Structure 1
Amino acid sequence: MNAHETTPAAGYPAHWEADVVLADGGTAHVRPIRPADADRLRAFYSRLSDESIYFRFFGPRPRLSDREVERFTNVDYHDRVALIATIGTEMVAVIRYDRIADGEAEVAFLVEDAHQGRGVASVLLEHLAATARENGIGRFVADVLPANQRMMGVLRQAGYTGQSTFEDGVVRMTLDLTPTETAHEVTVAREHRAEARSIERLLTPGSVAVIGASREPGGVGQMVLRNLLRADFTGPVYPVHREVRAVAGVRAYPSVTAIDGEVDLAVLAVPAQGVIDVVKECAEKGVRGLIVVSSGFGETGPEGRERQDELVRIARAYGLRVVGPNCLGIANTDPAVRLNATLAATVPARGRVGFFSQSGALGAALLQRVAQRGMGLSSFVSAGNRADVSGNDLLQYWEEDPATDVILLYLESFGNPRKFARLARRISRRKPIVAVKSGRTTQGVPVGHAAPVIALPDTALSSLFEQAGVIRVDDLMQQFDVAQLLAHQPLPAGPGVAVVSNSDALTLLAADACVSAGLTPTPPVNLGPAAGPAEYGAALADRLADDDVHAVVVIYTPPIPGQCDEVAAELLRVVQGAAKPVLATYQGRIGMLPELSVPGPPARSRNAPPPGPGFGSIPSYAAPEEAVRALAHVVRYAAWRARPAGPAPIAEPSPHAEAARALVRAALERAEPAETVRIDATELLGCYGVTVWPAQPAASAEEALAAAERLGWPVVVKAADPRAAERAGTVRLGLAGPETLRQAYADLSAQLGPDEPLAVQRMAPQPAVPVVISVVEDPAVGPVVSFGLGEVTARLLGDVAYRLAPLTDGDAAELVRAVRAAPLLLGGYGYPPVAVKALEDLLVVAGRVADELPEVERLDLDPVLVGQSGVTVLAARAVLRSPRGPRPDDGPRRLR
C-alpha cells in the first residue's frame, strides 16, 4: 500500500471508517472507496463468479473498463457514495448509492463469492444507510433480478419499512431509512450473534500454536505450553521456536506458517517489538484468534501505545480478534476442549461461573482462590490491556452459553460503558452479573488500557450498575461469596431470613447483620450446642415451610467434634428440591465444601476433570455476617429481576425533535465552532410540551411591580443570575401586594448589591418539594440523567441518583425512589404525598431531550417544585456544544 492510499484527500469522511465483526466471528474493515482503490477493485472483480456479475449488472461483463473503474472509485461522498469491506489488503465487498431524486438514492452491492454468507452485505447496508441519512437521503431504491434471492433477503431483513413491485422482469424494492424499533432490534441481534461467535472461536479452538515457546525454565511461552499440555487440551499443540526442534517433548516449528495442520488459536509470547511481524504470519496461516501475553505495549507509555494500536489494526484487518496484550490468557473447562492457554498452573474444575478479569497480574491469584473455594468455572478470560476483546464481548458470549449461569467481572476500565449497560440490562434478566470495579476514588484508567476516562462520580457508576441489574460488590472476596450462592441456590422471593443455629452469640451476630443489610430476620431457632442431624433437619424443614421465610442461614459450630458429616448429609437431604436458598456457616469454613455438595453434571469424557458441585449444594462462609452480606446482594438482585422489565426506550425520534434541533442549530451557528453556548432552555423544553414559568427581569422596584401585575399575584423576587440564586437568602416568597414587593425588592437589592440583577416570578402552588433534574453528556457514557432534592441538606450530602438516558417509565420511577430523601415525596415523615407521577413524566422528557439532542452538553431544571397537583419548572438552563463525534454505542455496528 503506497503513501497515496494511506493518506486520503481532503474531504474524505474518515469518520465512516470502522472495524466490524462478521456473522462468523471474523473481522473486516469498512471504509469509503478512494481513487487509489482502482487496482484493488479490478482484482476484486476478477475473482467474482459469472453469476455474481450477472446479478449485479443484469448481464455478462467479463471485465470493467477503465472508464467504469474511474467512475466507481471517484465519488463525491454526498450524492454518490461507495463503501468497501477489506480483509487484509484485499477488497471483498462493495456497496454504493447514487442519488436519483431529492431524499432518494439507488443502492446496489456486490460481495465476493468466497465471502458470501458471512454477513458482509448486511453490515455494509447498515453503514451505508447511516451515511445516507447524514447526507439527507431517507429512502433507498434497488432493482433486483428475481433469481437474486441473496440480495432481496439482505434488503428485506434489514428491519426498515419497505415495499416491492415487479415490472419488466425486475423487482423494485424501496426501503424507508427512518430508524425503527425493528431495525434497531435487527442490528442488536446481529451484533450479538457476531460478537458471541468471535469469542466462541477463541474459547473452542481445534488447535493451538504457542509462538515463543522456549526451553528456558520459567519462560512465558514454555509456561503456557506446559499448562496446555497439563490440562490435556483435546487438540494438537504446536510450539513455535525459530531455532530448537522440540520444546517440552513436543515437536517445534520454526514459524507458524511451517506448521503442517491448521491453527485456530495462537498464543504470542515473543518480545513486543516482534509481535507485529508474527501477527502477519498468523494472518497468512489463517489463524482465527490471538492471545498476546507479551508485555511492552500500552502500559509502557506512548511508544508502546502506538505499538498496541498497530497490533489491533493489523489483526482486525486480517480478520482476527485479539485477547490482550499483557494478559494472563484464557481457559475453558469444557471436557470437550480442556483449554488452559494461561500463565496460571491452577485452573478451577468445571463449574457454572464465567469469569472476566482485566488484570493479568491478579488473574493467577484469582484462579487459585476460586479453586480453593471449590467453586468451579465454565470459562475464564484475562484481557490485560483489553485493546480489542473486552468484557462486553464476553457478555455477548456468556448470555447464550449453556454452561454459564453466573457472570463475574473484574473491571479496571470501560471501553464502552453505554454498551455495557445495554447488554447487562438484557442479560441480567436471565443470568446474574457480579462486578468489582476498581478505581472508586479516582475513576482513572490504568496505563495502557484503550478506554476513556469517565467524568461521572463513582456514585453515578453505581447507579448505572443498579439500573442494569448488575450486582456491584466492594471486593473480590465478596464477589466470590455472592457467586457461590447464585451458582448453587435458587433466588429468594423476599427479604425474610430465618437463622438456624447452635450458638447464641453467632445467632445474634446473624440477626444484627440482617437488620443492617436491610433484611427481615424472623425469630431465630437456637438448637443448642448438642444438636445433631435430627434436630437440624427438623428445624430447617420447618423454616423452609414458613411463608414468611424466604431464605435460611444455617450456623453449625459444634463445641467439640461430633456428628459433622451426618449433619451435613441431613442438611443436603432437606435442601434438595427446596425453592428457597439455604446458606451456611459450617465450622467456619469457606467455599463449596465436599460434604455440603451434590455432584454436578457428569463429565463427558474419561479424561475430564471431576465435575464441580451442582445446583442444590450449600455454600459455606467463614462468619454469619459474610453469609448475610452475600444474601443481601442476592435479595436486591432478585427484587430487581422480579420487577417487570417494561418497554424499552422508544427508538423513533419524537415529533418534537426537529423543532428542537432547529433551535439548537440556530444557537450554535451564532457561536465559534469550539465554543459552548449557554441558553435559557425555556423555548427548547417548550418543544417537548414542558412549560417553564417565566421570570421577568426588574431593574427597579417599579419594574418589579409592573411585572407582578402582568404575571399575577402572589409573586417572588429572586436573584436573576442562577449562580447567585444558589446562595441562601436570595429569594423572597409569597409577596401578595405592592408594599410587600417594594420592601422585599429593597431588602434583596441591599443584600446582593446594586449591580446584581433581580427578577420577578409568579409564586408556585404550596406546599411543594423542591427538586433538581440535570442531564450531562459524558464523553464516555453518553447522556446521563441525575435527580435529587433541592433542599440545601440534600445538596450538601450529595443525595443524587443517576440513570442513563433515554428513560423508561420504570427507570424514572426507580430514579425518584433511589435518593435517600425520597420519603419526603412519597408521604413520609408527615409530609403530604406529592404528584410523583408528574415528576416521573418530567424525568422521561428530560431523558428524551438529552437522547435526541447530542448538542445538549448539560441541561439543568433547577428548581422544580413538586406539589400535590403537579410539577412547576421555575428555571431551566442548557449548555450547547457541537458534537465531538458519534456517541458511544450509537450508529451502525462497529468495534471500539
Structure 2
Amino acid sequence: MNKFSHLFEPRAIAVVGVSDDVARPGSQVVRALLKNGYRGRIFPVNPKYEQFDGLKCYASVADIEDDVDLVVIGVPAKGVLPVVEAAAEKGVPFALILSGGFRESGPEGVERERRMLEIARGSGMRIVGPNCLGFANLHDNVYAAFGSITREPKLMPGSVSLVTQSGGFGYSIALACEAAGIGFRHVIATGNESDIDTVQLIDALLDDDETKIILAYIEGTRDGRALLDVGQRAMARGKPLLLWKAGVTEQGARAAASHTASMTSSYDYYSAAFKQSGIVEIREIDQAVDYLKALEGGKYPAGGGVAVMGVSGGSAIVFADAGEPAGLSLCELTDKTQASLQTVIPNIGAVHNPIDLTAGYFSASNRANLETAVRATLADPNVHAVCVNIATTGKAGSLVAAEVLGEIAGSTEKPIVVFSSAPASQVGDALAVFAKANIPVLRSPSRAAGALAMLASYRQARARVERAAAATQNVTAPREVFPRNAQGSSLSEAEAKAILAAAGIPVSRDVIVSGVEEAAVFDKMTAPLVVKIVSPDIAHKTDVGGVKVGIRTRAELEAAIAEVLDNARQKAPSARISGVLVTEMIQGGFELIAGVVNDEVFGPVVAVGAGGIYAELLGDTTCRLAPFDEVTAREMLDELKCRRILDGVRGKPALDVDAAARALAALSRFAWEARDQVGEVDINPVFVLADGVVAADAVIIPKARPAVQPVSGEKS
C-alpha cells in the first residue's frame, strides 16, 4: 500500500512497554501478535526483562540489531518522548502510540504532543495516535493493538476496511458487522490523529487491492478539502466510502472536542462534502451493516422502481412507507409481466405491485413457479430492483427461496434484497446460501428499503460527481481580486458589488454621490430609488438609519441623502463615510440570501436560502463547497423549502431559476479563486425575477491573517 506499506504490512515490530502484567497495552500487543500467527519479527522492549513470552527482550529500541518497520509504544505518557527519540534516531519509519495523556489531557499534554511531532518530523517518522487502540491487518495477522480489537470473537478476513477515531465505538461497529457475516481487511483506530489522520488512511486504502469498501467513523477533520477529494477519488476508483460523522449537534460537537480534541466544523459543511463526493453517510450501526451487505453485491439500480413480492402484505406496506421518502416507488408492472405472473401465482394472490405470492408459496414443490415469477418480475423494464419478503417463512421454505434467488442473482444486474425475520438458528442454511450469492438479508422491510434507496442514490451520485468534476476542472488558481486589507474590515457596498459584477453576478444599477448637491442624478435613474450610506465600517446600515427606500421625486432624494448622512455621522461618528449610494429599487420577484463563508476546515462554502420575511421564519438554507457548476447550483435551489414559490404561485409568473443557478455558480467560482483573500461574502437580498436575478446589496469581508497554528500533523 505505497507509502503506508511498512505500517500495515510490517516485517519487524518493536513493542515498548511489555510487562508481566497482562493488562498492560504492550503486553497485550505482543501476545496478540503471537496468538494470531504474525509471521514477522517481534522485538519486546523493557530494560527490566531479558525475555518476554519466549522472545528476547531489549533494553531500548536502540539496542535492536535489525531494522524495524513499526514501533508500538505502550508506556505512560511521560515516558513516550524518549522512546520516540530513540526510534527516530534508529530510522524507524512508523510509530503507533497507544498511550493517552496528550492534547486531550490539557496544556501539559499539548506541549508533549507538540514535542513528539517535532522529534518525528526531524527524522521523517510518521505517527498513528496517540491515545488509540491500534490496528489489525486481518489478512496478514498483524494485530498491533490492545483491548477490544484483540479479544474474541475474532473478526473474519474480508474486503471491508474500517478506520475509526474512536477505538471502542468503532469496534462496536466492527462486531455488529462480524455478527452479520461481514469480513474485514483492516481495522484501524486513530485516536488523537496528531499526525496521520483518517482521511490520509482512507486515501491509502483506496490503493489497496484487497480493500473493496471503506467504512469510517470520524468526530472531525482538520482538512475538509482532503475529505472531499478522497471521497471523489473513492467514487472514481469504484470503492464505496461509508462515513459516520459524529458530533452533528451542538452537544455532540462539545462531546467530540472533549473526547479526542478533534477540530469540528459545521455539520452542514460535512453534509455538503458528502453530497459533492458521493460519500455514503451512515447514522446508525444497523445502517452500516445493511449498507455494507447491500454494497458487497456490487449492483446498483438504474432507477427507483422496485417490485416487492412475497407472502406478507403488511411487509410490502412497511417497505413502501419507508421507500417513498427515500426516492423509491412500487412501480407499475407491464401487462406482459402481469400475464406471466398469472400463470404461476394462485388466483387468490395478486399480480400487480406489490406481488402477493400467497402463504406457503416458498416450498420445494413450488420451486419452478417461484423461479418463473422472479425472473418475469426482473425482466420488467419498469423494475430496477426486487425485494422478496420471506418474512417468517421457516427452514425448508427459506432454503428453497435462497437457492432459487441465488441462482437468479448470478444472471441479473438488478439488485435483489430479502426481508426475513425468522431466527438465524432456524434458517441458518438459507442465510449461508444468500451470503454466498451476495444477496443481503435484512431484518425489517424498512431496512430493506433503506438499503435499496442507498444503492440507487450511490449510482446517481457517481454520475453527478463525474459531471461536476469535469465541469470544474478548469477553475483557475487563487488570484488577487482586491487590494489586501490588513485590518480585515468590510468593503463598502459599492466596492463589493463592483467586484461581484466583475465575477459575473448581476447587481443593481447604482450611483455614488457625495451629498445633496448631486441629487440631479435622479433624472438619469428610474424611480423608485433606494438611498444607502457608503462606509467600509458600517456593515449593517439599517442599524444606524443609513437606508431610505421608496424615493419617487428629486426632493425626496435630496432629503434622503441628507438624512442618511446625518444619521451615520451621529450614530457612527468614527466610521469612514465615502458617500451615499443611490440605487434603483428592485420590484417584484422573490428574495434569496446568498453568501460565502471561508471555513478554516473546508475553505470557501457557498450558502443560499430564503430571504426577506422567510429568512428567520423558515430557516431555509443549503450549502455546497466551492467551486461547483450550474447543475449543482440548481440542486441547491431544489433543496430549499421555498423552491415552489420560484415556479410561480397564485397566478404569479414563474421566476428565472436558471439565472439564479448561474449566479450561484459564478459566486462559487469567485469564492474559490479569491479563497486566499475573501473571508466572507453576504449578498442580501438577491432578487430572483421573471427574467434574471439582481444582487441588491452586498458585503465582502477580507480574510483575516492566520493566527498561530495549532498542533497538527503534516499533510500528505
Give me the TM-score of the superposition, normalised by structure 2: 0.83
Q: Report 1:592-607 matches (<5 A).
A: 595-597=430-432
The residue aligned with 2:613 is 792
The residue aligned with 2:415 is 581
- Residues 227 and 376 of structure 1: CA distance in aligned 2, closer, same or farther (over 3 Å): same
Paired with 1:770 and 1:399, the residues of 2 have a C-alpha distance of 44
- Amino acid paired to 2:636: L
Q: Residues 387-429 of structure 1, C-alpha deviation per residue, up to 9 Å, x if partnerless?
A: 1111121122122222122111100111211221122123223
Q: Residues 448-494 of structure 1, C-alpha deviation per residue, up to 9 Å, x if partnerless?
A: 7464342x3x2332122212211112223322221221122411211
The residue aligned with 1:103 is none
The residue aligned with 1:531 is 361
8 Å CA contact 2:269, 2:625 repeated in 1? no
2:682 paired residue among 856, 860, 884: 860
CA displacement at 1:775 relative to structure 2: 0.7
Q: Secondary structure at the match of 1:861?
A: strand
The residue aligned with 1:540 is 374
Q: Secondary structure at the match of 2:442?
A: coil
- Residues 496 and 887 of structure 1: CA distance in aligned 2, closer, same or farther (over 3 Å): farther
- Residues 882 and 366 of structure 1: CA distance in aligned 2, closer, same or farther (over 3 Å): closer
Q: Secondary structure at the match of 2:257?
A: coil
Paired with 1:859 and 1:887, the residues of 2 have a C-alpha distance of 24
Paired with 1:478 and 1:463, the residues of 2 have a C-alpha distance of 20
CA displacement at 1:805 relative to structure 2: 1.8
The residue aligned with 2:476 is 652
CA displacement at 1:598 relative to structure 2: 6.2
8 Å CA contact 1:532, 1:567 repeated in 2? yes
Q: Does structure 1 residue 566 correspond to structure 2 residue 379?
A: no
8 Å CA contact 1:351, 1:378 repeated in 2? yes
Higher mean C-alpha displacement, 755-764 vs 554-563: 755-764
8 Å CA contact 2:472, 2:627 repeated in 1? no
Unaligned 5+ residue runs, structure 1? 1-195, 600-612
CA displacement at 1:868 relative to structure 2: 3.1
The residue aligned with 2:350 is none
The residue aligned with 2:383 is 549
- Amino acid paired to 1:484: K
- Amino acid paired to 1:225: V
Q: Report 1:759-774 matches (<5 A).
A: 761-764=583-586, 766=588, 768-774=589-595
Q: Report 1:738-757 matches (<5 A).
A: 738=553
Q: Residues 479-528 of structure 1, C-alpha deviation per residue, up to 9 Å, x if partnerless?
A: 22212211224112111122122112212111111123231123211222
The residue aligned with 1:90 is none
- Residues 715 and 363 of structure 1: CA distance in aligned 2, closer, same or farther (over 3 Å): closer
8 Å CA contact 2:76, 2:99 repeated in 1? yes
1:688 paired residue among 503, 509, 528: 503
The residue aligned with 1:482 is 291
1:433 paired residue among 210, 218, 241: 241
1:324 paired residue among 117, 129, 150: 129
Paired with 2:651 and 2:487, the residues of 1 have a C-alpha distance of 50
Unaligned 5+ residue runs, structure 2? 332-352, 572-578
CA displacement at 1:540 relative to structure 2: 2.6
- Residues 880 and 867 of structure 1: CA distance in aligned 2, closer, same or farther (over 3 Å): same
Identity in percent: 29
- Residues 625 and 691 of structure 1: CA distance in aligned 2, closer, same or farther (over 3 Å): closer
Paired with 1:270 and 1:839, the residues of 2 have a C-alpha distance of 59
Paired with 2:514 and 2:612, the residues of 1 have a C-alpha distance of 28
Q: Residues 727-777 of structure 1, C-alpha deviation per residue, up to 9 Å, x if partnerless?
A: 9xx9866x7x649979x989x99xx999899975324364x2322210111
- Amino acid paired to 2:206: E
1:378 paired residue among 185, 196, 209: 185
- Amino acid paired to 2:411: G
Paired with 1:540 and 1:289, the residues of 2 have a C-alpha distance of 53
Paired with 2:543 and 2:323, the residues of 1 have a C-alpha distance of 41
Higher mean C-alpha displacement, 297-306 vs 717-726: 717-726
Q: Secondary structure at the match of 1:637?
A: helix
The residue aligned with 2:142 is 339
Paired with 2:430 and 2:661, the residues of 1 have a C-alpha distance of 51
Paired with 2:423 and 2:700, the residues of 1 have a C-alpha distance of 57
8 Å CA contact 2:219, 2:262 repeated in 1? no
The residue aligned with 1:50 is none
The residue aligned with 2:601 is 780
- Residues 581 and 704 of structure 1: CA distance in aligned 2, closer, same or farther (over 3 Å): farther
- Residues 259 and 753 of structure 1: CA distance in aligned 2, closer, same or farther (over 3 Å): closer
CA displacement at 1:285 relative to structure 2: 3.5
2:279 paired residue among 470, 479, 490: 470
- Amino acid paired to 2:680: R
- Residues 824 and 258 of structure 1: CA distance in aligned 2, closer, same or farther (over 3 Å): same
Paired with 1:317 and 1:493, the residues of 2 have a C-alpha distance of 52
Q: Secondary structure at the match of 2:472?
A: coil
2:263 paired residue among 449, 452, 465: 452
8 Å CA contact 2:130, 2:193 repeated in 1? yes
2:330 paired residue among 512, 517, 521: 521
The residue aligned with 1:627 is 448
Q: Secondary structure at the match of 1:282?
A: helix
Paired with 1:216 and 1:224, the residues of 2 have a C-alpha distance of 12
Q: Secondary structure at the match of 1:244?
A: coil
- Residues 371 and 691 of structure 1: CA distance in aligned 2, closer, same or farther (over 3 Å): closer
CA displacement at 1:325 relative to structure 2: 0.8
- Amino acid paired to 2:361: A
8 Å CA contact 1:290, 1:323 repeated in 2? yes
8 Å CA contact 2:622, 2:640 repeated in 1? yes
CA displacement at 1:676 relative to structure 2: 2.8
CA displacement at 1:823 relative to structure 2: 3.7
8 Å CA contact 1:266, 1:291 repeated in 2? yes
Paired with 2:703 and 2:247, the residues of 1 have a C-alpha distance of 29
The residue aligned with 1:32 is none
8 Å CA contact 1:557, 1:586 repeated in 2? yes
- Residues 278 and 698 of structure 1: CA distance in aligned 2, closer, same or farther (over 3 Å): closer
CA displacement at 1:202 relative to structure 2: 0.8
Q: Secondary structure at the match of 2:182?
A: coil
8 Å CA contact 2:508, 2:583 repeated in 1? yes
The residue aligned with 1:709 is 523
Q: Report 1:112-191 matches (<5 A).
A: none
- Residues 235 and 682 of structure 1: CA distance in aligned 2, closer, same or farther (over 3 Å): same
Q: Secondary structure at the match of 1:532?
A: coil
Q: Secondary structure at the match of 2:412?
A: coil
- Amino acid paired to 2:239: K
1:509 paired residue among 302, 318, 341: 318
- Amino acid paired to 1:528: T
8 Å CA contact 2:257, 2:264 repeated in 1? no
The structure with the largest helix share of the pair is 2
Q: Residues 4-37 of structure 1, C-alpha deviation per residue, up to 9 Å, x if partnerless?
A: xxxxxxxxxxxxxxxxxxxxxxxxxxxxxxxxxx
Paired with 1:627 and 1:366, the residues of 2 have a C-alpha distance of 19
The residue aligned with 1:822 is 643
Paired with 1:796 and 1:440, the residues of 2 have a C-alpha distance of 23
CA displacement at 1:251 relative to structure 2: 3.6
8 Å CA contact 1:861, 1:875 repeated in 2? yes
- Residues 448 and 530 of structure 1: CA distance in aligned 2, closer, same or farther (over 3 Å): closer
- Residues 583 and 247 of structure 1: CA distance in aligned 2, closer, same or farther (over 3 Å): farther
The residue aligned with 1:498 is 307
Paired with 2:326 and 2:184, the residues of 1 have a C-alpha distance of 28
RMSD: 3.6
8 Å CA contact 2:232, 2:277 repeated in 1? yes
8 Å CA contact 2:132, 2:191 repeated in 1? yes
Higher mean C-alpha displacement, 493-502 vs 794-803: 794-803
- Residues 313 and 827 of structure 1: CA distance in aligned 2, closer, same or farther (over 3 Å): farther
The residue aligned with 1:884 is 706
8 Å CA contact 1:500, 1:539 repeated in 2? no
Paired with 2:361 and 2:313, the residues of 1 have a C-alpha distance of 13
